């Protein structure tokens, strides 16, 4: 029942992304209207869908892996690492082709996740996990800004905002495919890991005793997360909080099971990002608000609620 | 012999251990801290990599996947952490067993979230997770920890009854030597990663544990003079 | 400090032979004046241009500029070279001119050109200051020829640079474009959106290739299909470097655009 509502809401949000603002559409003739929708609005809506779903799914998977509801791609520095990888590849090394950008971003995400494992370890307690993630985010963010300042193009520095706070504006259908296809692949493969991640709730040893190779599971989750998040960040920059909030809602739908929550989290994440993008487009402000600001405004209160709610875990 | 295992080794923790358990046997594993009890259970449960040979009713259960394994063996760890606030019923089901497993008096608790339960109740839910699939071999590490005295007794009797149903056995690591004596068909004593003795009657037991029998009780052995101390 | 400045001033004054002699050591502190000096001056006259002039990404005269010492646009960086004429643009920091005055260095400060007439005036003044009236006249006649051959009707055009930047319909860029028969459309905020390019494409899309090889979001914006090839628009690429200063270097480009239209 709740799942059906979620799908309906998602469909509505997607349709709204294509059709709103409606006023403009009425005054155009058919082939221009078609171009407008296909070349401008559709890529944007598809990107919101793909990026949101990726953040939700990988957020749920990483949280299941670290057995911690605070382990999301943004808090652990994965999105920042991806942005750094993309920026260094394109602005400093000059490999600006879409494939190179995506590869740079994926490598950056992998690096951040590997660093997190090295610093915090797979069975990290909350405080260690948060601190390590914070350190990695801060470092990646600073290095990204530095890289942009050192880039040959004088316009690079103005791009910092886009990379650090995300943007879905004026991306082409081709770019949407570059983000969307790896994202879909990553999500599909992550879904197959759901049952194993559920059993991980019983503890790593019990999961092993049940026949799961936890080391390989960890490797898969990390690589798939890096693939999906990397591909999306290469096109849209780093967007935060969706990967933290979507799994919270998803686990409510699955009675707390973290692995089963991957699919609902993908749907919730997609919905959240579509709504955030709608807010960016329809807000009656003079200027455009970066989408990362909107997701932070939505997500930060949840983050605070989560921390307060988690005292039982922090205390134990 | 239902279970035959040999050459079980884990680097630094377990050295070439062998063990055989017959159908219907409840074997207790005792030994000082760090003697390798948990390591032996790990090796048998397939945790921490392949190790040695093992045959349980003719099959090495460590080659089985998650679908078939709970029917052959389950493992209960000594530390009872729970990562997520799952409902008790769901948690038990994750282990591959049926949540209708009645024996631990969990009916009132089945629909409650495990983080809302007391330590003892939570322990029983986790134990139920290991027992519910009715595996051929139960590998339990300190199952009576966190249980009140009544449940400590009840649990051991329950395990006895379960494996008595035919085609099953249990290997239980336990610190309580009295409980071990009372319930076990055999007692295996471990020391420094090896199996050192069987039964608690031999003279090496005092050597291994540092305690000796005094009538019905145990008392610390008088420590021999330390040759390093001043003359 | 004052005593030192006075001594320096005296030494400069003694070195100069008089206000009327052509300067032998000209330093330019601004990319646009660099271009004028390089076009109008004799190679032996010039002593320093800015580092921007020496960059291939900024001006087509970069090779020529590399023969001279580079400066960073400040008086401080050229003073040791003992220039007898410093050319700058836009006044800038007023103290720069005052200090130059105190040091006895002749200065020529040009205003930012806002019309073709301003461009012509700047050419005249630089040619005069450098003592090269014939070179100035040659450039001016090319501009006059361009004005004379100006097409009557203008095609609806949008000039775009990275990120959707465009130019004002009244500005100097638009005036140069008019000489090529291209009429710049007035766009709000001097920005054009992809939506506009799709919904109301211009007849001619003039795409600047400034720093095309260097990655930035602005460059990526230009790769969107709507910006690369809007339907019903004729896309013409133009050398972006020339549009920074919009000086007489644009003449050749305008002729090319006019003939390509």
Q: Which phi and psi (to 5°) does residue C157 adopt? A: -130, 150
Q: Which range, A29-33, A155-159, C112-116, has the best average confidence (pLDDT)? A: C112-116
Closest among B100, B48, B47 to B76, alpha carbons compared: B47
Measured from the Cβ of residue A156, the count of other Cβ atoms closer than 10 Å reads 25
Mean pLDDT over A196-208 rounds to 94
- With an 8 Å Cβ cutoff, are B115 and A312 in contact? yes
Q: Tell me, what DSSP letter sits at residue B87?
A: B
The rounded distance, in Å, linking the Cα atoms of B179 and B164 is 18
User: Which chains pack against A, by 3+ Cβ pairs within 8 A?
Assistant: B, C
Q: Is A288 on the interface with C (CB under 8 A)?
A: no
Q: Which of A23-32, A203-212, C202-211 has the lowest mean pLDDT?
A: A23-32
Q: Which two tokens stand for residue C164?
A: 């959707």
Asked whether the predicted pLDDT for residue B100 surpasses 90, the reply is no
User: Which chains pack against C, by 3+ Cβ pairs within 8 A?
Assistant: A
Q: Which residue has the higher pLDDT, C239 or C20?
A: C239
Asked whether the predicted pLDDT for residue C68 surpasses 80, the reply is yes
Asked whether the predicted pLDDT for residue C14 surpasses 60, the reply is no
ipTM: 0.90
Residue with tokens 């780093």: A238
Q: Is B69 on the interface with A (CB under 8 A)?
A: yes
CA distances from C122 to C87, C115, C135, C140, C253 (A): 11, 11, 13, 10, 19
Mean pLDDT over C74-100 rounds to 85
Contacts of A196 in chain B (CB under 8 A): 66
Contacts of A217 in chain B (CB under 8 A): none
Return the H-helix or E-strand segment holding B181: helix B177-183
Return the H-helix or E-strand segment holding C155: strand C155-160
Q: Tell me, what DSSP letter sits at residue C22?
A: P
Contacts of C195 in chain A (CB under 8 A): 24, 36, 40
Helix (H, G, I), strand (E, B) or coil at A129: helix
The per-residue pLDDT for C18 is 47
| Domain range list for chain A | 2-315
The per-residue pLDDT for C167 is 94
pLDDT, mean over chain C: 89
Q: Are strands B3-10 and B53-56 parallel, antiparallel or unpaired?
A: antiparallel
Q: Which residues contact A94 (CB under 8 A, 6 or more apart)?
A: A152, C213, C214, C215
All structural domains of chain B = 3-80+135-220 (3.40.50.300)
CA C215 to chain A, closest CA, distance in angstroms equals 6
Asked whether the predicted pLDDT for residue C249 surpasses 90, the reply is yes
The CATH class given to the A2-315 domain equals mainly alpha
Measured from the Cβ of residue C258, the count of other Cβ atoms closer than 10 Å reads 17
Helix (H, G, I), strand (E, B) or coil at A122: coil
Rg (CA), chain B: 19
- With an 8 Å Cβ cutoff, are A39 and C214 in contact? no
All structural domains of chain C = 2-145 (3.40.50.1980), 154-260 (3.40.50.1980)
CA distances from C161 to A250, B197, C127, C178, C190 (A): 44, 85, 32, 18, 11
Give per-residue pLDDT as tens, A215-269. Answer: 999 999 999 999 999 999 999 999 999 999 999 999 999 999 999 999 999 999 9
Q: Which residue has the higher pLDDT, C120 or C103?
A: C120
- With an 8 Å Cβ cutoff, are B87 and A68 in contact? no
pLDDT, mean over chain A: 91
CA distances from C25 to A60, A273, C86, C96 (A): 70, 62, 9, 18
The rounded distance, in Å, linking the Cα atoms of B66 and C163 is 54
Q: Report yes or no on chains C and B touching (3+ CB pairs under 8 A).
A: no
The per-residue pLDDT for A316 is 45
Shortest CA distance from A155: residue in chain C: C216
Q: Is C219 on the interface with A (CB under 8 A)?
A: yes
């Amino acid at each position: 029942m709740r799942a059906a509502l979620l799908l309906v809401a998602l469909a509505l949000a997607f349709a709204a992304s294509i059709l709103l603002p409606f006023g403009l559409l009425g005054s155009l003739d058919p082939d221009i209207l078609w171009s407008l929708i296909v070349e401008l609005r559709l890529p944007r809506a598809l990107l919101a869908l793909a990026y949101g779903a990726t953040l939700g799914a990988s957020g749920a998977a990483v949280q299941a892996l670290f057995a911690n509801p605070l382990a999301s791609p943004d808090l652990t520095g994965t999105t920042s690492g991806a942005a750094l990888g993309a920026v260094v590849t394109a602005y400093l090394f000059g490999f600006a082709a879409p494939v190179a950008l995506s590869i740079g971003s994926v490598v950056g995400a992998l690096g951040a996740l590997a660093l997190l494992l090295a610093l915090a370890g797979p069975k990290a307690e909350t405080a260690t996990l948060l601190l390590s993630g914070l350190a990695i985010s801060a470092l990646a963010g600073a290095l990204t800004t530095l890289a942009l300042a050192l880039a040959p193009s004088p316009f690079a520095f103005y791009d910092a905002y886009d990379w650090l706070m995300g943007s879905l504006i004026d991306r082409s259908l081709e770019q949407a495919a570059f983000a969307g296809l790896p994202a879909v692949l990553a999500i599909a493969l992550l879904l197959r890991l759901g049952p194993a991640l559920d059993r991980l709730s019983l503890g790593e040893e019990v999961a092993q005793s049940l026949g799961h190779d936890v080391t390989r599971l960890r490797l898969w989750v990390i690589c798939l997360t890096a693939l999906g998040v990397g591909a999306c960040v290469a096109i849209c920059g780093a967007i935060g909080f969706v990967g933290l909030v979507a799994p919270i809602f998803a686990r409510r739908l699955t009675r707390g099971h973290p692995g089963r929550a991957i699919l609902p989290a993908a749907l919730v994440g997609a919905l959240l990002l579509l709504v955030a993008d709608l807010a960016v487009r329809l807000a009656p402000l003079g200027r455009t608000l970066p989408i990362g600001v909107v997701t932070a405004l939505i997500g930060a209160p949840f983050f605070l609620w989560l921390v307060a709610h988690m005292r039982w875990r922090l205390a134990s | 012999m239902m279970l035959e295992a040999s050459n079980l080794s884990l680097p630094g923790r377990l050295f070439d251990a062998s063990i055989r358990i017959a159908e219907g046997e409840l074997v207790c594993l005792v030994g000082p801290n760090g003697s390798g009890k948990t390591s032996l259970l790990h090796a048998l449960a397939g945790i921490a990599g392949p190790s040695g040979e093992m045959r349980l009713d003719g099959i090495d259960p460590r080659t089985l996947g998650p679908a078939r394994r709970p029917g052959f063996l389950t493992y209960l760890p000594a530390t009872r952490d729970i990562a997520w606030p799952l409902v008790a019923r769901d948690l038990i089901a994750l282990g591959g067993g049926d949540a209708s497993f009645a024996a631990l008096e969990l009916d009132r608790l089945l629909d409650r979230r495990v983080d809302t339960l007391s330590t003892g109740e939570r322990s029983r839910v986790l134990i139920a997770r290991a027992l519910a699939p009715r595996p051929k071999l139960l590998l339990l590490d300190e199952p009576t920890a966190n249980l009140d005295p009544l449940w400590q007794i009840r649990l051991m009797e329950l395990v006895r009854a379960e494996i008595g149903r035919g085609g099953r056995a249990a290997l239980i690591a336990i610190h309580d030597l009295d409980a071990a004596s009372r319930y076990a068909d055999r007692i295996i004593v471990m020391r420094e990663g090896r199996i050192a003795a069987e039964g608690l009657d031999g003279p090496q037991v005092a050597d291994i544990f540092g305690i000796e029998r005094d009538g019905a009780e145990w008392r610390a052995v008088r420590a021999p003079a330390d040759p390093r101390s001043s003359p | 400090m004052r005593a030192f400045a006075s001594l320096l001033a005296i030494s400069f004054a003694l070195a100069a032979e008089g206000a009327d002699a052509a300067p032998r050591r000209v330093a330019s502190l601004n990319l646009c004046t660099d271009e004028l000096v390089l076009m109008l001056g004799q190679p032996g006259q010039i002593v320093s241009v800015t580092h921007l002039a020496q960059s291939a990404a900024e001006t087509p005269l970069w090779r020529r500029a590399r023969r001279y010492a580079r400066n960073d646009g400040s008086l401080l960086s050229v003073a040791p070279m003992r220039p007898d004429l410093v050319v700058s643009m836009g006044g800038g920091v007023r103290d720069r001119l005052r200090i130059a005055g105190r040091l006895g260095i002749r200065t020529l400060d040009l205003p930012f050109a806002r019309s073709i007439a301003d461009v012509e005036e700047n050419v005249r003044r630089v040619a005069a200051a450098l003592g090269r009236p014939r070179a100035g006249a040659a450039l001016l006649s090319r501009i006059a020829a361009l004005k004379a051959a100006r097409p009557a009707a203008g095609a609806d055009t949008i000039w775009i640079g990275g990120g959707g930047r465009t130019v004002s319909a009244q500005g100097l860029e638009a005036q140069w474009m008019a000489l090529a028969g291209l009429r710049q459309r007035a766009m709000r905020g001097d920005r054009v959106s992809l939506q506009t390019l799709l919904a109301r494409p211009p007849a001619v899309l003039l795409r600047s290739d400034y720093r095309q090889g260097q990655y930035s979001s602005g460059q990526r914006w230009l790769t969107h299909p709507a910006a690369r090839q809007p339907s019903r628009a004729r896309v013409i690429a133009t050398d972006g470097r020339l549009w920074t200063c919009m000086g007489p270097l644009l003449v050749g480009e305008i002729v090319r655009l006019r003939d390509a239209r």
